Chain A
């Protein structure tokens, strides 16, 4: 008997996932744990992203902020119709998911070196799986530094996790805020100012930066001034994305497609256009 031949899976069709846990992080920021309704989730790398679909509303690219044995973790800020719908989801809610897509943080490549994580605002979310991977194999790395900046003390993402990491004796954690309140006794100022004070060996360090583009640009400059080579400085870029598989053209950044050549990109590949307006 002839077997029906299944057509190749259309990469534009999402799989169906269910929210297994929803946790409020900050005002308008929610972390969702999602699991496939049937079968196993595909493997993902720290730094990659998924396309999340809210029924009838649309799809957005969201970085992976962690993983569970059966699912992915995504941290979402409600800024538009789709992210608002996703951020409003509660346990049991059903959504579509395609991915993971894109490049990851070169966590394995960085073994044996110092690692500096530089996060701005929600940029800590895509860095968290990389931080966890490094800390899970802590003995394979040199000095590990986490530098996080945010607007105000009330907007520190993953505050408990940062405190947990800070309690370890083998990780340097520095947090800075743009605007302090009366209770805040920590650093005040932008993240690049922390880079100038951080201890790492510029000849043998990997830097992973994620945050708003302007923050990443100034952080990259501060790292360059600290003599860190551009080919070991990595940024997670963001552009409009419709397909996530290199077919829709939206995410172009010079000759690169952020969806497949990124989002994680080495600074030396993009340094020429990073500071250029409206590229």
Chain B
């Protein structure tokens, strides 16, 4: 389907239009997921309308610190990112792979689980998060072997992105070139406009599916002033980054500093709690668990999110390869910022800042990278 120039220029909806959009997606059979307030945080959960959104709330984020605060306005997307990412829907933390049972003839019958696949519509996906999805696509869906359930969920997902109107204290998407403006990979992209007493959303259409959905949603063509105001929102956010990370030559920098004394220093603080890997929108490591009934007549195999910060992660007969905290932090950070580039042609970091915010001791990946850059020379790969 061709889109005419009015579509390309953009449409404008008000909060009731957003309500109509959510209802329209639900009526199309999508499980609609968006931001909601739970446990003093903005999390991603099932929503039925704009009443579920964190209206008038924002978040204050610093290393090891996250607090909700009231805003001066009624913004629906006036926060940065919370502890959840969309990963938990596309790539569930626990997933049954198959079940096995002994058949009548003493053979083993292995069958995939009987599950109905949810078709997701995501409301409020940020630029960094779109990039995180694209990175997980490369890892989980575009290699020699694919995670089929991930690939199917990803293909069916309808994505309503949001340009960030406010950066968090731990954000550094500008450094990672992943935001704050969403560039591609969405069906619809919203920019929340709150100036001049009006509450509007500029809607940018990113796909034919997005255009079709908007046909059923009351909207008006965007004015030049509104388009300009939306551009200003993104520009203002880009200037508010709480952190920055110098990515110039970072692969060689980290791979060449594997014996840097900074790893010992950060190990003094790191608790190996795995929080950073659980909140990271790109971390993909998993383990498997085997369960059986008491008589071992039937069994199942379950895949679960895992973390390179655990001792079990690197266990081989005789012990764990990475038993020290130093080696486990080094593995995580060098994988994320350096080895990922060798493996998948992209950094594993999108600059969302979650690992910084949700670290209980406030370890800041940007600060650790800067410390190694400031005093390179530790022994590394030849």
* Chain A residues in the interface with B (C-beta under 8 A): 7-8, 10-14, 16, 37, 55-59, 79-80, 94-96, 238-240, 242-243, 245-250, 252, 254-255, 257, 260, 271-273, 276-279
Q: Is the CB of B339 within 8 A of A10?
A: no
Q: In the complex, what residues of A have CB within 8 A of residue B108's CB?
A: 16, 55, 94-96
Nearest-CB residue, chain B, relative to A272: B381
Write the B338-354 contact mask toward A (1 if CB under 8 angstroms, else 0): 11001100000000000
Q: Min CB distance, A35 to chain B, in Å?
A: 13
A64 to B308, CA, bound (A): 28
Q: How far is the CB of A212 from chain B (nearest CB, A)?
A: 8
Contacts A59-B288, A272-B382 given; indicate if A250 touches B98 (C-beta within 8 A). Answer: no
Cross-chain contact A10 with B286 (CB below 8 angstroms): no
Also in contact, A276 and B308, with CB within 8 A (given A257-B343, A260-B144): no
Cβ–Cβ contact B143 & A246, under 8 A: yes
Are A10 and B112 touching (Cβ within 8 A)? yes
B148 close to A245 (CB less than 8 A):
no
Q: Find chain B residues with CB under 8 A from A272 CB.
A: 380-382
- Bound CA span A246–B144, Å: 9
Residues of B within 8 A of A242 (CB): 286-288, 306
Q: Give CA–CA (A177, B98) in the complex, Å.
A: 45
B16, CB-defined interface residue at 8 Å: no
- Is B220 interfacial (CB 8 A cutoff)? no
Nearest CB of A to B194, in Å: 42
Give min CB distance, A27 to chain B, whole Å: 16
Interface of A is mostly: loop
Spell out B's residues near A (CB within 8 Å): 97-98, 100, 102, 106-110, 112, 139-140, 143-145, 147-148, 255, 258-259, 284-288, 290-293, 296, 298-299, 301, 303, 306, 308, 313-317, 321-324, 326-327, 331, 335, 338-339, 342-343, 380-382
In the complex, which residues of chain A have a beta carbon less than 8 angstroms from the beta carbon of B139? 247
> Quick one: given A13-B97, A96-B110, are A79 and B317 in contact (CB under 8 Å)?
yes
- Whether the pair A252, B259 counts as a contact (CB closer than 8 A) is no
Known: A94-B106, A260-B144, A279-B321. A56 touches B290 (CB 8 A): yes
Contact present for A250 and B285 (CB under 8 Å): yes
Contacts A8-B148, A55-B292, A94-B108 given; does A249 touch B317 at CB 8 Å: no
Enumerate chain A residues within 8 angstroms of B255, measured Cβ to Cβ: 254-255
Distance A10 CA – B145 CA, assembled complex (angstroms): 9
- Residues of B contacting A: mostly: mixed
Q: Which residue of B lies closest to A257 (CB)?
A: B343
Q: Closest 5 interchain pairs by CB?
A: A56-B292, A249-B285, A278-B327, A272-B381, A255-B342
| Pair A276/B259 contact, Cβ less than 8 Å | yes
Which chain B residues border A10 with CB–CB below 8 Å? Answer: 97-98, 112, 148
| Whole-angstrom CA separation of A190 from B293 in the bound complex | 46
**Min CB distance, B27 to chain A, in Å?**
28
Bound Cα distance A272, B342 (Å): 15
C-alpha gap A242/B380 in the complex (Å): 28
A240 touches B342 (CB 8 A): no
Known: A96-B108, A279-B258. A273 touches B284 (CB 8 A): no
* Cβ-defined contact, B259 with A37, below 8 A: no
Query: Least Cβ distance of A251 to chain B in Å?
Result: 9
Give B229 Cβ to nearest chain A Cβ, in Å: 43
B98 touches A279 (CB 8 A): no
Q: Chain A contacts of B98 at CB under 8 A?
A: 10, 12-13
CB proximity of B315 to chain A, nearest CB, Å: 5
Contact B110 A16 (CB under 8 A): yes
A95–B140 alpha-carbon span in the complex (Å)? 27
- Shortest distance from the beta carbon of A255 to any chain B beta carbon, whole Å: 4
Of A11, A37, A239, A277, most buried by chain B (CB within 10 Å of CB) is: A277
| A271→B382 contact, CB < 8 A | yes
Task: Kindly list chain A residues whose C-beta atoms are within 8 Å of the C-beta of B381.
Answer: 254, 272-273
User: B382–A55 contact, CB under 8 A?
Assistant: no
Chain A residues in 8 Å Cβ range of B308:
249
**For the complex, what is the distance from the CA of A238 to the CA of B317, rounded to whole Å?**
10
Question: Which of A11, A58, A240, A255 is the one whose CB lies under 8 Å from B315?
Answer: A240
Contact B112 A13 (CB under 8 A): yes
Q: CB-CB < 8 A to A254: which residues of B?
A: 255, 339, 381
Partner pick for B317 among A8, A80, A260, A278, CB 8 A cutoff: A80
- Residues of chain B within 8 A of A238, CB atoms compared: 316
Indicate if the CB atoms of A279 and B296 lie closer than 8 Å.
no
A266→B297 CA distance, assembly (Å): 44
